[in-house]
Amino acid sequence: MRLATFPMEKAFILYDADSLCDAGLTPQIAPSWFTVNQWQEAGAILGQATGRGTSLFVLAGQQEWVIRPYRRGGMVARISECRYIWTGRERTRAFRELRLTERLYRHGLPVPRPIAGCVWRHGLTYEATLITERLNGVRSLADSLPALDDAMLQNIGVTLRRFHVAGLDHVDLNARNLLIDDTGGVWLIDLDRCRLRRPGRWQQANLKRLERSLTRFVNDDVRSVMEKIENGYHSH
């Protein structure tokens, strides 16, 4: 991967030139690539996923991409849904998440391939959007329960352990951010505000957060499901 920056007026883009080449696109990226109009005019929108904001699935040359704008949640969203305080280009959410994802991807961890992030500065604030490669044939852990067998639940734990050994503190580890593909592979998404840390109590806090999220999707004993995940987690 070759991350490069591309400043253009009040927009700043961090992108992987290799990803653009692999997609058969020109390496000259532009802020319009991060907008809905660009893909509507090209007739390249494949679908969308709702959540905090709407993520678009688009056909970009020979690849499928996910375009995700950053949106605030909670009480602060009433003040500004999409603006964040500007403290420097490298400290923006898009640049930090893209660099973290690139590092994990480069080390062989199951995260979506990072494509690009764009930041638009507005004086003391900014807006941002992230592009990653789309994972096809995946379902969230939330949507897969309770059909998963013990081996699959243990595999989730093994995967989480790999991320923790790498030092990833996922601040929003929940059943929607863990994806399972057709071959039984486990993927981790949404690394916004996540960071790399030394081993500590945060690792157990991650698992507790996942357990709390499972209560929304598991009809029977959540602790039983979580124990199987933890068995895999502690097996390596």
| Cα-Cα end-to-end distance for the chain | 29
| The two three-digit tokens of residue 25, written as one number | 């696109």
Beta-carbon contacts of 24 under 8 Å, excluding residues fewer than 6 positions away, are 61, 62
Closest CA to 29 of 116, 109, 90, 102: 116
70 close to 127: Cβ distance less than 8 angstroms: yes
User: In degrees to the nearest 10, what's the CA dihedral of 54, 138, 231, 169?
Assistant: -40
Whether 172 is catalytic: yes
| The two three-digit tokens of residue 24, written as one number | 């058969």
- Which one of the listed residues 169, 172, 182, 220 is annotated catalytic? 172
Sign of dihedral through CA atoms 14, 16, 21, 23? negative
| The two three-digit tokens of residue 81, written as one number | 């849904």
98 close to 111: Cβ distance less than 8 angstroms: no
| The two three-digit tokens of residue 102, written as one number | 């690139």
Q: How far is CA 166 from CA 44, 162, 170, 173, in A?
A: 36, 6, 12, 15
Query: Active-site residues: which are they?
Result: 172
